[in-house]
């Protein structure tokens, strides 16, 4: 299958690669959309992302698609489901995971960073990080769920309340993108 493979610092190649082996707790997803973000740019430049990417690796952690196959232990997803993917795979066993701080997981794995991601025709993901997408949400919009959820999480951490006076410093491009997203009713329903 075709994939855009990071072969080294500032070296991307379109290649034919072998499909990944499907584990019992995983689903195989036909990629519909894959976003490119600052993390991908950093990895391309040889910098770390949420974890170190070791080439060769297929980037792409902002993904949506359609389930093509389910592993033998998967019960809550089926072939044909339209899905969005949380790229972060936490171990659930380290001190940070056990104290409700999984973002600091000692054994973090990430789709499109430490394992092949959505910049290929098909990719695998643990069913635990794959979420069905309602019919009224396009797969294009579903690929933006991960970056939007990061922004929403950040806003919630600020604990901003109505009528509170505050200053916000935001990069212009992110602000425009975020405002466009909130304009669409699907995202306000997800909040």
Residues 47-90 pLDDT 10s: 887 777 889 999 999 999 999 999 999 999 999 999 999 999 99
Mean pLDDT in residue range 103-119: 92
20 vs 81, more confident:
81
Mean pLDDT of 7-20: 93
Residue showing tokens 């394992």: 115
Specify the pTM.
0.81
Locate 187 and state its tokens: 């995202």
> Hey, how many other C-beta atoms are within 10 angstroms of the C-beta on 180?
11
Q: Which residue has the higher pLDDT, 39 or 27?
A: 27
Burial class (CB in 10 A: 0-12, 13-18, 19+), 63: buried
**DSSP for residue 76:** S
Instruction: For residue 182, give Cα distances in angstroms to 20, 64, 168.
Output: 36, 19, 17
Q: Where are the domains of the chain?
A: 2-134, 144-191
Tell me the mean pLDDT in the region 9-33: 95
Q: Report the pLDDT value the prediction gives residue 39, as an integer from 0 to 100.
A: 87
**Domain 2-134 maps to which CATH number in 3.40.50.300, 3.90.180.10, 3.40.50.2300, 3.40.50.10490?**
3.90.180.10
Quote the CA–CA distance of 68 and 107 in Å, as a whole number.
Answer: 28
Instruction: Please state whether the peptide bond connecting residue 56 to the residue before it is cis, i.e. omega within 30 degrees of 0.
Output: yes
């Amino acid at each position: 299958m075709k994939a855009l493979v990071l072969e080294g610092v500032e070296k991307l190649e379109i290649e034919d690669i072998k499909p990944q082996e499907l584990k019992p707790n995983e689903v195989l997803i036909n990629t519909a959309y894959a976003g490119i973000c600052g993390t991908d740019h950093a990895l391309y430049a040889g910098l770390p992302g949420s974890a170190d990417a070791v080439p060769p690796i297929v980037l792409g952690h902002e993904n949506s698609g359609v389930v093509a196959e389910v592993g033998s232990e998967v019960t809550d997803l089926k072939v044909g489901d339209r899905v969005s993917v949380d790229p972060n795979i936490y171990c659930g066993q380290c001190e940070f995971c056990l104290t409700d701080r999984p973002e600091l997981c000692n054994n973090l794995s990430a789709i499109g960073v430490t394992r092949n991601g959505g910049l290929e025709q098909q990719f695998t993901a643990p069913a635990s990080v794959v979420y069905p997408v309602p019919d009224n949400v396009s797969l294009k919009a579903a690929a933006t769920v991960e970056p939007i959820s990061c922004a929403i999480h950040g806003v919630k951490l600020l604990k901003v309340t109505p009528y509170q006076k505050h200053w916000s410093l935001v990069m212009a491009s992110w602000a425009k993108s975020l405002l466009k997203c909130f304009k669409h009713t699907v995202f306000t329903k997800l909040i």
